[in-house]
A and B are shown apart, each in its own frame.
Chain A
Amino acid sequence: MRATAWTALGDETAEDVASMDTTIREILADSGWLAVDVAALSDGDDLYAAGLTSHGSVNLMLALEERFDIEFPEQLLRRRTFESIAAIREAVTGLRNGTAGA
């Protein structure tokens, strides 16, 4: 399933960013990988401190790949990529724009 609002690659509008944030938060909330309420987290909060495990981050990645129709390249498969909602958004945006890992 591909979110149509993002099919035009390039400059994300503020709305796109907000919508992507919502989707990332939905994935996190549905998963049960975090030990805290996602609504209580700010964009920059450390997800690992919120209970995200290595096992959880793999599943998070799979869910992001499915939802955004992207594939994480090997160089993004590291701890830092999934450390916060902002970091995830940056990685996903980069992949959608073809600038990931640059």
Chain B
Amino acid sequence: MSPPLLRRARDAGLDVAARHADAVDRDARFPTEAFAALKAAGLLGAMVPRDFGGEGATLADIAAVCHELAQHCPSTGMIYAMHQIQVACVVQHGQQSAWHRTLLERLAAEQLLLASATTEAGIGGDVRSSSCAVEASGGRFRLEKNASVISYGEAADGILVTARRTPDSPASDQVIVAVLKDDCRLEQTVGWDTLGMRGTCSMGYRLSAEAGIEQILPLPYADISARTMLPTTHILWASMWLGIATDAVGRARAFVRSEARRKPGATPPGALRLAEATTMLNQMRASIVGAVRQYEEALGDADRLTSMGFAVAMNTLKVGAAQTLVRIVEQALLVCGLNGYRNDSEYSVARHLRDAHSAPLMISNDRILGNTANLLLVHKDTMGLFG
């Protein structure tokens, strides 16, 4: 029997991802070594149910892995999170379709890597709208998407793509299709030379796919989004962001401790800020744990998962975690001072800060707040303290 999931993640994170994290960031390259290690450890297909050859890992298990990996290499953590969001959609909504059952078996047996193409040129982060459409004829379909961001598109074995159901459908009537490498052509339109999250290689592409209509997930994307993609995205992103925050606070703590050792008896001035950062870190952790619990309680209950209260809970998790991450890393930087600002110091939080600033943009916090504000026109908070 292989060691527990988190142990395997820690080994891959410490031994491999951490060693290459600087090069991945500097060269904005895919974390090849880390993903070879994750595949070898069977971590990519871990969420696939046992019936299909996986380990049946829960979302909580996967969230813990994201948190672990991001402490060593945030790009690795984010790619792992994005892959698992796609896997969750296939696990939750593909089991009644023969094609997707085979995909589940392949995800487990071959440890395939899945990417996502929701963002579209001209639409941006409004994931519930598409301009491109599936054009079906004779059991096959064609799809062209001007996908302005597809992380690790070139390294992926398959991509889940959103599109309008038919060329006549309104923008919000979407489906999601799984296309494999051989079904599609990616023509790069824009590069990925960014402030942070550089190893995610989130280039823009013109995606052209041709495949069988059985590859379209049967449920409308609106349901898949509300029931699975939205909650798993916000939970796994937040868990991965917590990993960045944890490592930044860890460095701040190490800095304060070394100061304290040098002048025993006097509490270093940064200790107070460290206490503040730790307070925020614990709040962030608690909000994730609470959201995971809410998700697990609602799992399998379509009405609860598509309720406004649930959407509000997941939206607020994302917005709160993204804001808190930036503030925590800023505090850590103030604690460490110039040593935190340097790229080459053991207390550096420079990469953490660059990576953290992607969080509020990744599906813009303002967009999510706007969406939540709309729901609050009718939503009533009827929750007790424990749900």
Q: Which of B165, B309, B374 has the most CB of A within 10 A?
A: B374
Q: CB-CB < 8 A to A61: which residues of B?
A: 378
A41 on the interface (CB 8 Å rule)? no
* Given known A-B contacts A79-B223, A79-B306, A80-B306, A74 and B379 have beta carbons under 8 A apart: yes
Question: Which residues of A are found within 8 Å of B374, using beta-carbon distances?
Answer: 54-55, 58
Of A36, A78, A80, the residue contacting B308 (CB under 8 A) is A78
A73 to B173, CA, bound (A): 27
Q: Are B303 and A77 in contact (CB under 8 A)?
A: no
Known: A78-B307, A80-B303. A72 touches B378 (CB 8 A): yes
When chains A and B are docked, how far (Å) is the Cα of A72 from the Cα of B307? 13
> Which A residues lie within 8 Å of B172 (CB)?
48, 51-53
The 8 A CB mask of A17-61 against B (1 = contact, 0 = none) is 000000000000000001110000000000011111111001001
Residues in B whose Cβ lies below 8 Å from that of A73 = 380
**Contact present for B303 and A78 (CB under 8 Å):** yes
Question: In this assembly, does B190 line the interface, its C-beta being within 8 Å of a C-beta of chain A?
Answer: no
Cβ-defined partner of B222 (8 Å) among A35, A48, A50: A48
Asked if A79 and B226 make an inter-chain contact with CB atoms under 8 angstroms apart, the answer reads yes
User: Quick check: A48 and B220 within 8 Å, CB to CB?
Assistant: yes
Residue pair A77, B308 in contact (C-beta under 8 Å): yes
When C-beta atoms are compared, the residue in chain B nearest to A51 turns out to be: B170
Would you call A62 and B378 a contact (CB within 8 A)? yes
Question: Chain B's nearest CB lies how many Å from the CB of A52?
Answer: 7
Could you tell me the distance between the alpha carbons of A79 and B306 in the complex, rounded to whole angstroms? 6
Residue of B165, B173, B309, B371 ringed by the most chain A CB atoms within 10 A: B173
CA distance A62 to B169 in the complex (A): 26
A50 proximity list for chain B (CB < 8 A): 170, 173
CA–CA, A51 and B302, complex, Å: 21
Chain A residue contacts of B309, Cβ below 8 A: 74, 77
The reply to whether A54 and B128 contact each other, CB–CB distance below 8 Å, is: yes
Residues of B near A72 (CB, < 8 A) are 378
Query: Shortest CB–CB separation between residue B287 and chain A, in angstroms?
Result: 21
Taken residue by residue from 311 to 336, chain B's Cβ proximity to chain A (1 for < 8 Å, 0 otherwise) reads as 10000000000000000000000000
Report the count of interface residues on A (CB-CB < 8 A): 23
Nearest chain A CB to B161 CB, angstrom units = 19
Most chain-B CB neighbours within 10 Å: which of A55, A65, A79?
A79
CB within 8 Å for A78 and B173 given contacts A54-B371, A55-B374: no
Q: How far is the CB of B136 from chain A (nearest CB, A)?
A: 16
- Binary CB contact string for chain B from 344 to 387 against chain A (1 if under 8 A, 0 otherwise): 00000000000000000000000000010011011110100000
Chain A residues closer than 8 Å to B377, beta-carbon distance: 58, 62
Looking at A48, A73, A77, which has the most chain B CB atoms within 10 Å of its CB? Answer: A77
Kindly name the residue among B172, B303, B311, B377 whose own CB sees the greatest number of chain A CB atoms within 10 A. B172
**Nearest A residue to B227 by beta-carbon distance?**
A79
23 A-B interface contacts by CB (under 8 A) = A36-B170, A48-B172, A48-B220, A48-B222, A49-B165, A51-B171, A51-B172, A51-B173, A54-B128, A54-B374, A58-B377, A65-B378, A74-B380, A74-B382, A77-B308, A77-B309, A77-B378, A78-B303, A78-B304, A78-B307, A79-B306, A80-B302, A80-B303
Q: Which residues of B contact A (CB under 8 A)?
A: 128, 165, 169-173, 220, 222-223, 226, 302-304, 306-309, 311, 371, 374-375, 377-380, 382
Footprint of B on A, CB under 8 Å?
34-36, 48-55, 58, 61-62, 65, 72-75, 77-80
